[in-house]
Amino acid sequence: MLSDGRSFCLPLTAICLVLSVFPAFSQQVRVTEDQPEVRIETSGEPWIITRDQDQTAVITGEYARIARACPPDCVLPMVPIPGIAPYGEVEVITFLQEVAATGGGALIDARTPEVFAQGSIPGAVNVPHATLSATNPFRNDILVALGARPIGGNDFDYSDVIDLVVFGDGPWSDSAVRALRSLQGAGYPSEKLKFYRGGMQDWMMLGLTVSQPGGVGEAGGKP
């Protein structure tokens, strides 16, 4: 996790992500029709991705707000950057199962560390969008952690970089878009980048598990 502008720790090569589906036939609110819940393990931290079983539950807190001043918080198009595919919740979970589980990718939370600490998607790695700006003198360290190989100056060989799914607060927040534009501007291949437009607001709207770093997640959490 990136803690400030001067230090960076993203042990992507050490990420161990094990996912499996376990039967939970008593659950009436399933993740998908054939998946009542999904269990994952990232860097030794086990989580269960499930949905809130209280069918009267509603979103509370900051993400309950439906009206925000635009600008800056304007509704984003589904594909704000040509060449970068949009993802929904099922695609994010499948990405965790099939790509991140093999060490071939990472789910990137582009929000600030303060907001990330309040809860995120299980398995997400915090890389605030500002740290990917060309003005950050430590950005090259981040690119190397993502698999880029320095070839001199600010030039990199991106042939071995991992796949990234990037998200922010919600479909009105441009934090993920800023991160994606910075990565693309640095030379990161567009086909290696995906955009989860719904972000935390849509994730929570569906009652999916929210991880609390160092604690128990809501609507699922640690087994």
Tell me the pLDDT tens digit for each residue of 163-211.
999 999 999 999 999 999 999 999 999 999 999 999 999 999 999 999 8
Q: What is the pLDDT of residue 25?
A: 46
Q: What is the pLDDT of residue 188?
A: 98
Q: What is the pLDDT of residue 26?
A: 60
* Helix boundaries (H) for 47-188: 89-98, 113-116, 139-145, 175-186
- Whether residue 3 has pLDDT greater than 50: no
Q: Between 43 and 27, whose confidence is greater? A: 27
Q: Between 83 and 25, whose confidence is greater? A: 83
**Cβ-count burial of 86 within 10 angstroms (0-12 exposed, 13-18 middle, 19+ buried)?**
middle
Query: What pTM was estimated for this model as a whole?
Result: 0.84
Q: What is the pLDDT of residue 98?
A: 86
Cβ contact 125:107 at 8 Å: yes
Percent of the chain with pLDDT over 90: 65
Token readout for 116 is: 């990330």
CATH superfamily membership of 12-52+70-221 = Rhodanese-like domain (3.40.250.10)
Distance CA(87)–CA(80), nearest Å, equals 12
Distance CA(2)–CA(124), nearest Å, equals 12
Mean predicted lDDT score pLDDT of the chain? 85
* Helix boundaries (H) for 134-208: 139-145, 175-186, 199-205
* 83 Rama sector, left if φ>0, alpha if ψ -120 to 50, beta otherwise: left
Closest Cα to residue 42, out of 105, 85, 110? 105
